[in-house]
Amino acid sequence: MLKSFLPNKQVKDIFQITPKDLKNQGIKAVITDLDNTLVEWDRPNATPKLTEWFKRMQEEGILVTIVSNNNEARVKAFSDPLGIPFIYKARKPMGKAFSRAIKEMNVNKEETVVVGDQLLTDILGGNRNGFYTILVIPVAQTDGFVTKFNRRVERRIMSWFKRKGLLNWEEQS
């Protein structure tokens, strides 16, 4: 059961995911979470470094769709200036939004990675639906109300993974 929460890969941040590495794995598309994966949950816009990351992905032919549990106003305000497709109120870890994203990008699961900062939504959802999953360290040390609860549960799961030698997670101070 707990293995459903185990990511295929873990990285410090989104910037460690490169078009070259993705292409070497046969990956053509990225489904990524927004809040605390790409930017802090309370940051309205992309940073210049993140804008450049999206640009590199696009130049290399890697499709990106933002799939967020947040509301339309938040996700649209972030995504529209970048020209990045998005799905809001995704209800992760449920699979409907993941299926919709790959359909809209015209790719299959084997060509797609799911990237996120939460085991209970992003990683569980990606794993349950047959995707390769990448866990990133949250970019902010604070969270919204629901996420605070999730983080408590995640700490217990991560602790178990660490004891078993399955996860090497960098703690935030």
Choice between 99 and 153, residue whose per-residue pLDDT is larger: 99
Please tell me the chain's helix, strand, coil percentages from 3-state DSSP, rounded to the nearest 5: 45, 15, 40
Choose from 84-93, 135-144, 156-165 the range with maximum mean pLDDT.
84-93
* Mean pLDDT computed over 141-150: 66
* Mean pLDDT computed over 109-126: 96
Q: Note the pLDDT of residue 161.
A: 84
* Mean pLDDT computed over 110-135: 96
Ordered by start, the domain boundaries in the chain are: 2-163
Q: How confident is the model at residue 147 (pLDDT cuts 50, 70, 90)?
A: low
H-assigned helices in the chain: 19-24, 48-59, 72-79, 96-105, 124-128, 145-163
Second-level CATH architecture of 2-163 = 3-Layer(aba) Sandwich (3.40)
